[in-house]
Amino acid sequence: MKSKLYVSKPSALLCAIGVLFCLWVHVGQVEEACFTAGCSLYQQTSVAGISLWVVGMVAFVVMGALSLFGKAHIAYWLAMIGVICDCFLLALLVLTAPCFFCMIFALILLCVYLTLRNSVQQRSWNHAERKYPALVYLWSVLFVCNVGIVVKTSIPLWDISDNVEDASVYMYFSPSCSVCKQGIEGLSGNIDVAFFPVAENSWDVKRVALMEKYLEQGMSVREAFHSANSATPPSGLELYMPSMLFLQLKLLFNKAHVFMQGGGKVPFLEYRGLPKHVLQKSAPQRPRYTERSGWKDPTLPLDSSVTGFCTGSKPCEDGGDALTPARQY
């Protein structure tokens, strides 16, 4: 008695696409084509010294061959195992950093799985068994979560000084924060720094709008900051003009970044590289020993104290104490 032959040409075609895609990612210089951080993070990931993209190529070749030579039911079970593994991978991407190429691979694999499932079920399953399994819904939820993170991370933060590519320090500030005023005084014009404004209240929105206007007129960030502080509070529907609504959206993105990364405190500074103040300018001295405290290294510890920040329930007014609380994000 001959065994049933389950041939699925659409699945074989999808597997061929998967092979070509994995080969392109593995061999080609494609890092610039990917706009998510996960691509670089997982590019060199391997299993027993074998690249995951090579593993993916082999898997697609095997499933494609089985689909063409009448063993689509075996390819279906292999695809199911692959989708299960993909769910773990997608969950890992959600917890770390989404990988755009990995998501494309996962999508191709799911299409192969669904095509094989449809081919097999038409011949051997009854109608009651043709509903999508929970595995597909789980995969869909994880994939949508990754898409959401990709969309969020693809939205650039707004740098009012327009030098984010050359800056080594990112400073997030609020016009209502007295410590931010001190930070701008100390950083503007002295080092390569990019300034990202956030708004604690509606007055800050108008101040930032004036800062942007003054910067376009050729003022420095320090001059624009001081000039904008003389702005009067917004009145009427001033904040509901299209340009002001768009400005508030950009400020909201900056504020969300500070909330998630900086704990809702301004000024919030990010460094791209090693800050100069970490390096000791003086020549290193030899450690000395004392009976009271043992060995002492005069170059350690480095001074990492915080001079002040604005956070809390009340605005941090200009000219106030450095530790005066400001509006909690």
State the Cα angle at 190 between 187 and 192, rounded to 5°: 80
Instruction: State pTM to two decimals.
Output: 0.72
Q: Is residue 81, in this structure, part of any structural domain at all?
A: yes
* 308 Ramachandran zone, left/alpha/beta (phi>0; psi -120 to 50): left
Cβ(136)–Cβ(118) below 8 Å:
no
Q: What is the pLDDT of residues 99-148, one digit of tens each?
A: 999 999 999 999 999 999 888 877 665 544 556 788 999 999 999 999 99
User: Is residue 219 located within the same domain as residue 311?
Assistant: yes
- Three-state secondary-structure class, residue 172: strand
Q: Which domain holds residue 64?
A: 9-154
Query: CATH number for the domain including 319?
Result: 3.40.30
Question: Phi and psi of 207, rounded to 5°?
Answer: -65, -45
| 269 and 177 assigned to the same domain | yes
Is 231 contained in some domain?
yes
Highest mean pLDDT of the ranges 251-260, 300-309, 319-328:
251-260
Residues 227, 215: Cα–Cα separation, whole Å: 10
Same domain, 128 and 188: no
Q: What is the pLDDT of residues 146-205, one digit of tens each?
A: 999 998 888 888 898 888 787 888 889 898 888 888 888 888 776 688 899 998 888 899
In 3D space, the residue among 202, 184, 189, 207 whose CA is nearest the CA of residue 269 turns out to be 184
Query: Do residue 238 and residue 226 come from a single domain?
Result: yes
Domain boundary, last residue among 154, 187, 208: 154
pLDDT band for position 251 (cuts 50, 70, 90): very high
The last residue of one of the domains, among 99, 131, 154, is 154
Residue 133, φ and ψ in degrees, nearest 5: -75, 165
Residue 166 lies in a domain: yes
Comparing 70 with 299, the larger pLDDT belongs to: 70
* Within-domain flag for 2: no
CATH number assigned to the domain comprising residue 77: 1.20.1440
Residues 125 and 164 in one domain: no
